[in-house]
A and B are shown apart, each in its own frame.
Chain A
Amino acid sequence: MMNSDSWLRWLERWLKRYPVQEPPEFMRYGYTEEVLNRVRAAGAPAPLYRWIPAPKASFALGTLMAGLLVGLVLVRGSGSSSIEQEIEILEQVDADDSIPTGEEPDSEEGLMEELRESDEADLAVS
């Protein structure tokens, strides 16, 4: 068996003497025209950096979204603080026994007392 070097030399010599066949003559006809027909059907070459307009739009959209986000955060931030204030007031109200809670009276006796006070107040006004 030939060693690697002599085999390679022999192979290169052989391939030079017997190159790969050329494409058959009858198949060569119309090759370029077929490619050009397909190229014409495909339209003009795709422009480079087709995405160039996209960053402009993306930038504008991104800026808009960022603005909206900032606005939303601010609104939600102020909303949070108003909610916190409300909770704070409610806690103060709960803590103050002098302010009616609006809860239903615990008992029928209490309800009757409440109605009597209400009637007296109405009579006093009239």
Chain B
Amino acid sequence: MAGVSDGEVIGAILGGDTHRYAELVGKYQSRAWKLAYGLVGNWEEAKDLSQNAFVKAYRNLARFRRSAQFSTWLYRIVVNECKDFFRSKARRPSLVPLSPDPEAEDPIQFDLADPAGDPSDAAADQELAKRLGAAIGRLAMKQRTAFVLHHLNGMSLEEVSRAMGCRVGTVKAHLFRATEALRRSLAPYLLMEVTR
């Protein structure tokens, strides 16, 4: 439904047109789901968590300040759901020990289909993607959240700061630490990458 703002849809829902929540779910489900996937590394769990976030957002829709963006508010709820998930599972990413086998955890999967790419690079890219996905999974929760929101979901620093509930400077610090940790983790593979 082009031209209708999220604020208008929310106003209609609060006015009793509750079925219109489908519009917001349809609009943001993919991004919310991908965000949760970036944090937990499993599509099934990410689906549950993002759906929980939508239900919580709906229940608390009256609290949403319409001067803010619904998407940012929703992403914040998704992030909190993922934090609760890790708490309940006592499986904090920051405490996961380095594993020699990245597949032992839930590494994030990248879309390696690149028709224009050199087939000879495919194996190396595949290996690097596996290592990168696992290394992201080993980042501390805040670093991982900032990295996923900014680098994988394309959110601006300001949006990330609102979604994480911290200052832009703090987001930059988390991002710097995250990328440095990834650089260290992937150093052996990066050497191959820059020389090919």
Binding site for B on A (CB under 8 A): 1-2, 4, 7-8, 10-12, 14-15, 17-24, 27, 31-32, 34-36, 38-40, 42, 44-48
A20 and B14: CB pair below 8 A?
A: no
Confirm or deny: B180 has a beta carbon within 8 angstroms of a beta carbon on chain A. Answer: yes
Known: A31-B29, A35-B51, A35-B55. A18 touches B34 (CB 8 A): no
Known: A11-B151, A20-B37, A45-B61. A39 touches B18 (CB 8 A): yes
10 CB < 8 A contacts A-B: A1-B190, A10-B190, A14-B132, A18-B112, A23-B33, A24-B43, A35-B25, A35-B51, A38-B55, A42-B55
Known: A18-B125, A47-B62. A2 touches B34 (CB 8 A): no
Confirm or deny: B44 has a beta carbon within 8 angstroms of a beta carbon on chain A. Answer: yes
A45 and B47: CB pair below 8 A?
A: no
Per-position 1/0 for B15-46, Cβ under 8 A of A: 00011011001100110011001100001101
* B10 and chain A: residue at smallest CB distance: A45
Per-position 1/0 for B86-126, Cβ under 8 A of A: 00000000000000000000001111101001000000010
- Chain A nearest CB from B181 CB (Å) reads 11
Known: A32-B29, A36-B22. A4 touches B114 (CB 8 A): no
Binding site for A on B (CB under 8 A): 13-14, 18-19, 21-22, 25-26, 29-30, 33-34, 37-38, 43-44, 46-47, 51, 54-55, 58-63, 108-112, 114, 117, 125, 128-129, 132, 151-152, 176, 179-180, 182-183, 187, 190-191, 193-194
Main secondary structure of the interface of B (DSSP, over half): helix
* B128 and chain A: residue at smallest CB distance: A14
- Which chain B residues border A36 with CB–CB below 8 Å? 19, 21-22, 25
Residue from B43, B61, B187, B193 in contact with A27 in the complex, judged by beta carbons closer than 8 Å: B43
- When chains A and B are docked, how far (Å) is the Cα of A26 from the Cα of B59? 28
- Which chain B residues border A11 with CB–CB below 8 Å? 151, 179, 182
- Which chain B residues border A8 with CB–CB below 8 Å? 179
Q: What 8 A-B pairs come out closest when comparing CB atoms?
A: A48-B62, A45-B61, A18-B110, A35-B54, A7-B183, A21-B109, A32-B25, A21-B111
- Which chain B residues border A40 with CB–CB below 8 Å? 18
- Chain A nearest CB from B164 CB (Å) reads 19
Known: A4-B183, A20-B108, A36-B25. A46 touches B60 (CB 8 A): yes
Residue from A17, A20, A31, A34 in contact with B109 in the complex, judged by beta carbons closer than 8 Å: A20
* B116 and chain A: residue at smallest CB distance: A17
Known: A35-B55, A46-B59, A48-B63. A7 touches B110 (CB 8 A): no
B59 and A7: CB pair below 8 A?
A: no
A23 and B34: CB pair below 8 A?
A: yes
* B62 and chain A: residue at smallest CB distance: A48
- When chains A and B are docked, how far (Å) is the Cα of A52 from the Cα of B111? 51
- When chains A and B are docked, how far (Å) is the Cα of A7 from the Cα of B43? 29
